[in-house]
């Protein structure tokens, strides 16, 4: 995240002095750490290889041992740790790695909190909108039921591991995060690339929901959840105006001044499944229109509430 992005965030004083970030080197973690440091927060990043970690000045790196002493008395732990969902095809070993990387990291944090003389005041834990049943057209909020299948099961187990910290008196806020839009990395460059090369088209029916959030807004939401004692329970980390896959792709095409190809939906669905296997259905050909109802009820202000505004900033 650049300085302009940080300055544009609608952040008040979060009241945070010491924060531990797990998963602090990824797409979301790195700009989150930078934003916390810019607010004068002392940040420690958990890493499996702390000696090789390249972090902003003043950020401490710590391994996953000796967690009790590290977490004792901290204001918040923000847990983003987990293997990338879309980095490889979903073989059985890959799916197990995705599941274990999330549930085991969260369980280790909660267990360490239980041995602290003064447990952290808050745990902000990532989850994903893969928790929900895929539903076209009908918007859903945090009260919607869980779905079935691999992603939904991973999210439920992930969230259950985080909730064990509540028994220690730790305030737990869980963010079910949508597709994170960022400049130069993440999903957006992959979605824009075929459009740039005059090969853009809808995927499948194109009517599946695409619930997204600008990286800057997600970072702001994570910090708000860490510092605001009223943020407790589940929150959707999505922008207030989700779109269909087709509508979002058309906005990319308009922004890049490119046409879209009128490829029949069944052909793109078959091609996507051949290329990505099981992952295609779960991540691209199904979706839901997920609303950030609780964040808005708490007064959270989005800098990029519409996809058009986000794409104008990022593309």
Query: Could you tell me if residue 203 is inside a domain?
Result: no
Q: How far is CA 254 from the centre of its chain?
A: 26
Please tell me the distance from the alpha carbon of residue 260 to that of residue 269, in angstroms, as a whole number. 16
User: Could you list the pLDDT tens digit for every one of the 315 residues in the chain?
Assistant: 443 333 334 444 568 999 999 999 899 999 999 999 999 999 999 988 776 777 777 799 999 999 999 999 999 999 999 999 988 999 999 999 999 999 999 999 999 999 999 999 999 999 999 999 998 778 999 999 999 999 999 999 999 999 999 999 999 999 999 999 999 899 999 999 999 999 999 999 999 999 999 999 999 999 999 999 999 999 999 999 999 999 999 999 999 999 999 999 999 999 998 889 998 988 999 999 999 999 999 999 999 999 999 999 999
Residue 108 forms part of a structural domain: yes
Can you name the residues that pair with 146 across neighbouring β-strands? 132
Q: Tell me if 243 is assigned to some domain.
A: no
Residue 251 lies in a domain: no
First vs last Cα of the chain: how many Å apart?
A: 14
- Please tell me the total count of domains within the chain: 1
Backbone angles phi, psi at 298, to 5 degrees: -80, 0
**Strand 171-177 relative to strand 179-181: parallel, antiparallel, unpaired?**
unpaired
Beta bridge pairs of residue 125: 79, 174
Residue 265 · residue 207 · CB < 8 Å: no
Integer Cα distance of 37 and 14 in angstroms: 12
What is the domain range of residue 89?
Answer: 3-178+213-238+291-303
In a domain, 198, yes or no: no
Residue 7's H or E segment, with its range, is helix 3-7
Sign, CA torsion 96/32/238/257: negative
In a domain, 272, yes or no: no
What pTM, to 2 d.p., does this model score? Answer: 0.93
In a domain, 10, yes or no: yes
The CATH number of the domain where 63 resides is what?
Answer: 3.40.50.720
List beta partners, residue 123: 77, 172
The answer to whether residue 247 sits within a structural domain is no
The Cα 245–Cα 85 span in angstroms is 19
């Amino acid at each position: 995240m650049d300085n302009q992005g940080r300055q544009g965030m609608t952040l008040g004083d979060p009241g945070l002095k010491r924060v531990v970030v797990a998963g602090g080197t990824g797409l979301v973690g790195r700009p989150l750490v930078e934003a916390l440091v810019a607010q004068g927060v002392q940040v420690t990043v958990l890493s499996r290889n702390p000696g090789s970690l390249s972090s902003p000045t003043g950020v401490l790196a710590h391994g996953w041992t000796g967690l009790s002493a590290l977490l004792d008395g901290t204001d918040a732990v923000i847990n983003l740790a987990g293997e990338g969902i879309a980095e490889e095809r979903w073989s059985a070993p890959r799916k197990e790695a995705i599941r274990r990387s999330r549930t085991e990291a969260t369980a280790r944090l909660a267990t360490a909190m239980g041995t602290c003389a003064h447990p952290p005041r808050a745990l902000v834990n990532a989850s994903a909108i893969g928790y929900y049943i895929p539903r076209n057209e009908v918007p859903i909020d945090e009260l919607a039921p869980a779905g079935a299948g691999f992603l939904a099961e991973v999210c439920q187990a992930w969230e259950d591991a985080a909730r064990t910290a509540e028994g220690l008196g730790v305030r737990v806020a869980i963010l079910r995060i949508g597709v994170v839009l960022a400049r130069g990395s993440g999903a957006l460059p992959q979605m824009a690339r075929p459009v740039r090369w005059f090969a853009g088209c809808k995927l499948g029916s194109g009517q599946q929901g695409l619930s997204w959030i600008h990286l800057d807004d997600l970072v702001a939401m994570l910090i708000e959840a860490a510092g605001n004692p009223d943020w407790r329970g589940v929150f959707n980390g999505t922008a207030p105006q989700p779109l269909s896959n087709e509508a979002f792709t058309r906005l990319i095409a308009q922004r890049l001044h490119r046409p879209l190809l009128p490829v029949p939906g069944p052909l793109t669905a078959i091609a996507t499944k051949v290329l990505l296997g099981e992952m295609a259905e779960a991540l691209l050909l199904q979706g839901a229109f997920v609303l950030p109802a609780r964040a808005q009820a708490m007064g959270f202000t989005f800098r990029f509430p519409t996809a058009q505004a986000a794409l104008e900033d990022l593309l």
